[in-house]
């Protein structure tokens, strides 16, 4: 592995949401020797991508946060969707999510039921299922390998999940009825993106079933957002 990729894999070591890591933990996660890890970590600290804490452990730095906020793609996706409008039109809480390594990451919301920054599990949420349906094979395989039972209604049988993903790929709306949180129903569809893959998932959340009219509005909004994104 080249040096640059190694240094970036150090950042990836923080990818699953751990707030801080010690040097040995980073070395273990990346598989790099300790001295090499130390050198890379120091360069990242000098840049601001990592910060050293008082106890010697490291955490992701502000520089990374600032730069990440500049990334135009999730911004454009969120803006293209017009969440407050969808929220007002359907009367349901709306959110957009993009594929992250460990699940579907909520990058924007309106209505308050699914806060910004939430990491939704692949197999138990509507947005997660939509993104998983088009994810890389290895991601899908690991997601289906050991699906956690989060509520009594969580579907965990790999065969059933694979069938759901197949239907979603054929255009069916993804539904999660209390599979993630009790008393919460989600529906989601893909926002069309480049290369035939979704740019993200657009979802509605409610305390009860989502009526067909709201689903239709969701579909229209997702299609419109995809069209907006397509013309740069």
Partner DNA sequence: TCACTCCTTTCACGTCGTGGAACTCGCGCC
Partner DNA sequence: GGCGCGAGTTCCACGACGTGAAAGGAGTGA
* DSSP bridge pairs for 201: 97, 190
Q: How far is the CB of 109 from a second copy (least distance, A)?
A: 13
56 interacts with, out of DNA, a second copy, none, CB within 5 to 8 A per kind: DNA
* DSSP bridge pairs for 191: 200
CB contact burial 33-55 (16+ within 10 A = b; e otherwise): eeeebeebbeebeeeebbbeeee
User: Which of 12, 18, 24, 66 is in the footprint of DNA by CB under 7 A?
Assistant: 24
Report how far residue 71's alpha carbon sits from residue 77's, in angstroms, rounded to the nearest whole number: 11
Contacts (Cβ under 8 Å, ≥6 apart) of 177: 153, 185, 209
CA atoms within 13 A on the CB side of 159: 0
> CA angle, corner 112, sides to 110 and 116, nearest 5?
75
| Per CB under 8 A, 194 contacts a second copy | yes
| Per CB under 7 A, 219 contacts DNA | no
- The CA radius of gyration of the chain, in Å to the nearest whole number, is 19
Size of the site for a second copy (CB under 8 A): 45
User: Which of 25, 38, 45, 64 is in the footprint of a second copy by CB under 8 A?
Assistant: 64
Site residues for a second copy, 18-57, by CB under 8 A, read: 19-20, 40, 43-44, 46-47, 49, 51, 53-54
| Per CB under 7 A, 38 contacts DNA | yes
Pick the closest to residue 155 from 128, 173, 136 (CA basis). 128
| Per CB under 8 A, 11 contacts a second copy | yes
User: Which of 17, 22, 75, 207 is in the footprint of DNA by CB under 7 A?
Assistant: 22
User: Which stretch of DSSP H or E encloses residue 74?
Assistant: helix 72-81
What residues line the site for a second copy (CB under 8 A)?
2-5, 7-8, 11-12, 14-15, 17, 19-20, 40, 43-44, 46-47, 49, 51, 53-54, 59-62, 64-74, 98, 100-101, 105, 107, 117, 194, 232
What residues line the site for DNA (CB under 7 A)?
2-4, 6, 22-24, 27, 32-36, 38-40, 56-57
């Amino acid at each position: 592995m080249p040096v640059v990729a190694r240094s970036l894999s150090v950042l990836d070591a923080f990818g699953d949401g751990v707030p801080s890591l010690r040097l040995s933990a980073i070395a273990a996660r990346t598989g790099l020797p300790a001295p090499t890890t130390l050198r890379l970590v120091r360069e990242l600290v000098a840049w601001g991508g990592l910060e050293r804490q008082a106890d010697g452990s490291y955490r992701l730095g502000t520089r990374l946060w600032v730069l990440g906020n500049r990334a135009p793609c999730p911004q454009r996706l969120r803006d293209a969707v017009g969440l407050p409008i969808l929220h007002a039109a359907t009367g349901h809480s709306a959110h957009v999510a993009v594929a992250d390594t460990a699940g579907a990451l909520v990058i924007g919301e309106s209505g308050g039921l699914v806060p910004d920054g939430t990491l939704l599990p692949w197999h138990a949420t509507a947005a997660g299922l939509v993104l998983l349906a088009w994810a890389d094979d290895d991601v899908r395989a690991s997601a289906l390998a050991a699906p956690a039972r989060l509520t009594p209604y969580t579907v965990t049988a790999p065969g059933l999940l694979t069938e759901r993903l197949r239907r979603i790929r054929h255009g069916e709306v993804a539904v999660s009825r209390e599979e993630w949180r009790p008393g919460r129903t989600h529906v989601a569809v893909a926002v069309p993106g480049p290369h035939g893959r979704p740019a993200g998932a657009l979802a509605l959340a409610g305390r009860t079933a989502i009526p067909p009219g709201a689903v239709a509005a969701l579909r229209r909004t997702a299609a419109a957002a995809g069209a907006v994104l397509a013309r740069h």
